[in-house]
Amino acid sequence: MQAYFEELADFLTKSLHKREVFTAGFSGEDSDFVRFNHDKIRQAGAVSQRYLSLDLIRGARHASGAVTLTGGKNEDHRRVKALLADLRAKLPNLPDDPHLLYSTEVRSTSETAQNRLPDAKEAAVDVMAAGKGHDLVGILAAGGIHAGFANSFGQRNWFTTYSFNFDWSLYHATDKAVKCAYAGFDWSPDALREKMAAAAEQLVVLRRVPKTIPPGDYRVYMAPVALADFVGMLSWGGFGLKSHRTKQTVLLRMAEAGATLHPSVTIRENTKEGVSPNFQEKGFLKPDAVTLIEGGRLADTLVSPRSSKEFDVPTNGANGMEAPSSLDIAPGDLRREEILARLDTGVWINNVWYLNYSDRPGCRITGMTRFACFWVEKGQVVAPINVMRFDETIYRALGENLLGLTRERDMLLDSGTYGGRSTESARVPGALIDKFHFNL
């Protein structure tokens, strides 16, 4: 597939007119999908797809478009040539782009991971065996994800990774279920059984009469999935250079007033250990890691090529949204086996949803508990709780009220498949937090 993409790039180069430049991106996948319901296979299939995005540049003007590829040389040449002609016709009618920036230094790379995934049928058998006796609902997606970049200067970049993501729930009744995920690069039936057994234990508690707790401040434990969603809100304008320079960042108090988080909080964009390509759509390479918050203090920002041009700051290969795609929260020193004892009496939060900002300048986030969240008394899980709404700031939750982060972290892959399997990921610990505020 890499050779095919590079041949298309060469074809594009030969098709250019004088003074034209192009940048091109490739995305594709070869994935198996298996859907489960009542611990039975309800749908199984495979997807193989390829897309080419093209930006045609002449001077400071540029036009972009995309085309679906078939894998057949003659047909794909025809489609690419038609797209090129369409973009060429648009260029005279477009204004100059003052913030256009693309890489002109040729830095070619190639990275293809080893495929250590089992056959999809084998993995499906493991799932059904682990979920036997339960109403298991979920989807398993596994296979290769491919990305490429090329430009008319001769730069060629390629990235292939092989991963799996099993997103599932053990369903009880109505809106009651234990939601789980198992993702990574090496499939382990033992690891799957361990996760399934832990979910089954929570399902037993979920069958008990739910408890309604009054609004107020509670000690909580946020499991890694919940913490990833909570902290992931910072990607909405928290880490980008443009949001900082225009004073629109949700971390304005950190940037302008010296506010800090707990010293144990370090957050990075960790491209090296994620599943996203180490290059971006304008040909700039990403460093292995960019430290965004270090020791509770604001560190670097993510700088896209457009922001680099606008604010005269070197780019670090960020995407156009200037949001992390490989979020990494450093571990703490809290052991998972200590969580219930340290929580003592409070709320165990497995999942959250409907998150939004209730106060952007104050970085105050509101959301709701979801699925299996539990009331804990004296270190013992007592009952599920009815849905609660929280309203809390990052500065309290991960600052003055943070009691600890777990040593163990979960590797979470984005289960999104809209247009193709997502390459976003997060490596996140759990968090023990005091005085977490529930308002409804």
CB atoms within 10 A of CB 372: 25
Tokens of 179: 């939601």
Q: Do residue 160 and residue 12 come from a single domain?
A: yes
Q: Binning pLDDT at 50, 70 and 90, where does residue 174 land?
A: confident
Q: Do residue 200 and residue 258 come from a single domain?
A: no
The answer to whether the CB of 365 falls within 8 A of the CB of 239 is: no
Quote the domain boundaries for residue 392.
216-438
User: Is there a domain that residue 210 lies in?
Assistant: no
Q: Domain total for the chain?
A: 2
Sort strands 156-173 and 109-112 into parallel, antiparallel or unpaired. parallel
Q: Do residue 12 and residue 104 come from a single domain?
A: yes
Helix count and strand count (H, E) for the chain: 10, 20
The C-alpha atoms of residue 331 and residue 299 are separated, in whole angstroms, by 18
Average pLDDT, the chain: 96
> pLDDT digits over 391-428, tens only?
999 999 999 999 999 999 999 999 998 889 999 999 99
Q: Do residue 148 and residue 169 come from a single domain?
A: yes
The answer to whether the CB of 364 falls within 8 A of the CB of 355 is: no
Burial of 96 (0-12, 13-18, 19+ CB in 10 A): exposed
Domain holding 200: CATH number? 3.30.2290.10
Closest CA to 366 of 232, 230, 226, 248: 230
pLDDT of residue 418: 87
Q: Do residue 175 and residue 247 come from a single domain?
A: no
Strands (E), 38-175: 40-58, 61-69, 109-112, 136-151, 156-173
User: Is there a domain that residue 211 lies in?
Assistant: no
DSSP category for residue 154: S
Backbone torsions φ then ψ of 24, nearest 5 degrees: -135, 140
The C-alpha atoms of residue 395 and residue 392 are separated, in whole angstroms, by 9
Full-model pTM: 0.94
Tokens of 34: 């298996």
Q: Do residue 22 and residue 144 come from a single domain?
A: yes
> pLDDT digits over 290-319, tens only?
999 999 999 999 999 999 999 999 999 999
The C-alpha atoms of residue 96 and residue 85 are separated, in whole angstroms, by 19
